[in-house]
Amino acid sequence: MFSVEYDKIYDFDLTGTASFGDLEEEEVYEICKDGRVASHLLEPQLVKWFPELIHVKGCKGHDHIHCRDGRLFDAKNFTCSGGCRFMPSKMIGIGRTFDEEVFLEKAKDMTYIICDIVEFPKVRVVFKGGAELAKEYPKGTIPKSKRDILFS
């Protein structure tokens, strides 16, 4: 178990721990490289790794709350296909539009938990202040080319 520290890289290896029905382990790993799937598993797992977080179920605009001070956390996945999109989920997807004003307002009070799932079952986690992250990436997207910088 760990404590939340901003800008610290946490490394986890889930090798041998993921299974589903009769799927081969490698099949499960490949499926979990999709952020839409991995988020449903990683959000409750983050509470196991960082017990000061409380998982918030459903679509509340954030995924976790800090148990002592009430800080809000939003977990986002860094994938090989899209990098990391940390704007509100309602702005991600076909037919949805990016609203910079709403994004910046939300980011200023948010802590983002960026989970690198590119090499799943190896997962790297970093906590980033939203205001700082939005200043560096004002469109709410961290490109794939910045992965090594983000996780170094």
Predicted confidence (pLDDT) per residue in 98-135, tens digit: 677 888 888 999 999 999 999 999 999 999 999 999 99
H-only helix segments in 32-97: 35-49
- Residue-wise pLDDT tens digits, 130-140: 999 999 998 89
- Residue 128 in contact with residue 7, Cβ under 8 Å? yes
Domain boundaries, the chain: 10-150
Number of Cβ within 10 Å of residue 52's Cβ equals 16
pTM above 0.85, yes or no: yes
Fold of 10-150: PvuII Endonuclease; Chain A (3.40.210)
Backbone angles phi, psi at 32, to 5 degrees: -75, -5
Q: Euclidean distance between the first and final Cα of the chain, in Å?
A: 21
pLDDT, position 28:
96
- Residue-wise pLDDT tens digits, 5-53: 999 999 999 999 989 999 999 999 999 999 989 999 999 999 999 999 9
Indicate the average pLDDT of the chain: 91
pLDDT, position 106:
86
Q: Tokens for 109?
A: 């009070």
pLDDT, position 105:
85
